[in-house]
Amino acid sequence: MTETKTLLAALKGEAQAVPPVWMMRQAGRYLPEYRETRARAGSFLELCYAPELAAEVTLQPIRRYGFDAAILFADILLVPQALGADLWFVTGEGPRLSTIESAADMARLRPAAEVHETLAPVYETLRILKGALPAETTLIGFAGAPWTVATYMIAGRGTPDQAPARRLMYGQPEVFDALIDRITEATAEYLIAQVDAGAEVVKLFDSWAGALPGPMFRRYCIEPALRILARLHEAHPGVPVIGFPRGAGGNYATYARETGVEGLALDTSVDPAWAARELSPLACLQGNLDPLLMVLGGDPLERGTRTLLEAFAGKPYIFNLGHGITPDADPAHVEQMLKVIRG
Ligand code: 1CP
């Protein structure tokens, strides 16, 4: 059967004449309709746990722009919450969680198999989306990778350099390893259930992979990914995975080779010419337009978009940004970018 969804075809290694395109954080604050629905939900977290409204914001950028993929509206921090951590968002600042600093804190977490009760509304969102998306649109599920999720659970917030997590990793390795194991198991459970509910691709966000010390990259980025993929593929053979080891630099190649992910999401720092030469033989590449260009628009946006189209022409490729679109982006610039890609 020929694949009618261009994003799935690209992930199978088939170059598309016009690359499929979507954007990280495409359902977000730069869209007035998102801000309206979020206000209706009450808060960001209430929006994540309200299946009808979460499906609505997932669909908004599809209706407006006709992206080739819809990404489930949720957050990587729902897994810590499902494991029993307290989670709240401080307006204008970001997430806050109860912290993991000792074996006693670990002992208070729930077993990985018990995350589903909290996460059930997310599965319901996927079931709604499965019935509501256009036939050509691919539905992407996702989770945070264990290291990245652990950085938030340990520090209780976002930090610039992940020092609290690195401190625990060196100072109390048995506590740190137990946490990584727990998140790994919970993430496998979560992603399997997302595919059960209708996700066609899953993306693993290791947004802080670049903060791992080099000697730890294999152990805490690659190995947990391998364990998650093994369990996922046992339950759902052949479901494609996009890995995003953001900031991994030269380790991007190691990650692609050793995990065998079908899709490799490039962060903004990766040189497209290098990626086309060194990484393209290993996976379908996705990325990596500078999100700032969605704020600027004009000639810089057009040049940036063309640079990527030329670098990845004739190769399996998914157009995307190198990180999430920011709240100050102009929705008209998304149209400008799509016009350059689709002609
Ligand atoms: O105010 C708001 O409306 C909240 C902003 C927001 C949004 C729109 C947050 C808070 N999360 C999300 C949705 C979200 N988060 C999605 C939905 C799908 C889409 O892309 O459209 C996804 C995939 C995520 C994933 C996520 N959450 C990541 C990994 C991707 C990345 O950006 O590197 C991370 C690190 C988070 C944590 C998080 N959630 C929200 C914020 C502001 C943050 C970052 C906090 C920090 O590090 O300080």
Residue 66 has which token pair?
């006709």
Q: How far apart are CA 250 and CA 110, in angstroms?
A: 36
Is 306 among the catalytic positions? no
Can you give the pLDDT at residue 318?
98
Q: Decide: 306 and 288 in contact? Cβ < 8 Å.
A: no
Q: How far apart are CA 167 and CA 100, in angstroms?
A: 12
Beta strands in the chain (DSSP E): 69-71, 87-90, 94-97, 138-144, 201-206, 241-245, 263-265, 284-289, 317-321
Can you give the pLDDT at residue 324?
98
Per residue in 26-79, pLDDT (tens digit) is 999 999 999 999 999 999 999 999 999 999 999 999 999 999 999 999 999 999
Residue nearest to atom 4 of ligand 1 (CA): 44
Instruction: Considering the candidates 30, 34, 49, 75, report the single residue annotated as catalytic.
Output: 75
Per residue in 278-300, pLDDT (tens digit) is 999 999 999 999 999 999 999 99
Is 231 among the catalytic positions? no
**Cα dihedral 258/168/322/23 (nearest 10):** 100
Residue type (1 letter), 187: T
**Among 46, 59, 75, residue to substitute to test ligand 1 (most atoms within 8 Å of Cβ):** 75
Any ligand 1 atom below 6 A from CB of 133: no
Indicate whether 2 pLDDT > 70.
no
Indicate whether 248 pLDDT > 90.
yes
Instruction: Considering the candidates 49, 152, 190, 220, report the single residue annotated as catalytic.
Output: 152
Residue nearest to atom 39 of ligand 1 (CA): 75
Is 152 among the catalytic positions? yes
* Continuous segment of H or E residues that includes residue 208: none
Beta strands in 195-295 (DSSP E): 201-206, 241-245, 263-265, 284-289
What 3-state class would DSSP assign to 70? Answer: strand
Any ligand 1 atom below 6 A from CB of 78: no
Going by C-alpha positions, the residue among 114, 105, 104, 112 that lies closest to residue 86 is: 105
Label residue 4 by pLDDT band (50, 70, 90): confident
Indicate whether 1 pLDDT > 80.
no
> What residues form DSSP beta bridges with 225?
none
Is 75 among the catalytic positions? yes
**Domain region containing 65:** 2-342
Pairing of strands 201-206, 241-245: parallel
What CATH number is associated with residue 28? Answer: 3.20.20.210
Is 167 among the catalytic positions? no
Cβ-based neighbour number of residue 39 at 10 Å:
10
The DSSP letter of residue 245 is: E
Calculate mean pLDDT across residues 222-233: 98
Indicate whether 340 pLDDT > 60.
yes
Can you give the pLDDT at residue 114?
98
Per residue in 144-173, pLDDT (tens digit) is 999 999 999 999 999 999 999 999 999 999
Indicate whether 130 pLDDT > 70.
yes
User: Could you tell me the distance, in angstroms and rounded to a whole number, from the CA of residue 93 to the centre of ligand 1?
Assistant: 12
User: Could you tell me the distance, in angstroms and rounded to a whole number, from the CA of residue 325 to the centre of ligand 1?
Assistant: 10
**Among 25, 60, 183, residue to substitute to test ligand 1 (most atoms within 8 Å of Cβ):** 25
Per residue in 72-124, pLDDT (tens digit) is 999 999 999 999 999 999 988 999 999 999 999 999 999 999 999 999 999 99
Work out how many domains the chain is built from and give that number: 1
Going by C-alpha positions, the residue among 212, 271, 207 that lies closest to residue 244 is: 207
**Among 24, 34, 76, residue to substitute to test ligand 1 (most atoms within 8 Å of Cβ):** 76
Pairing of strands 263-265, 284-289: parallel
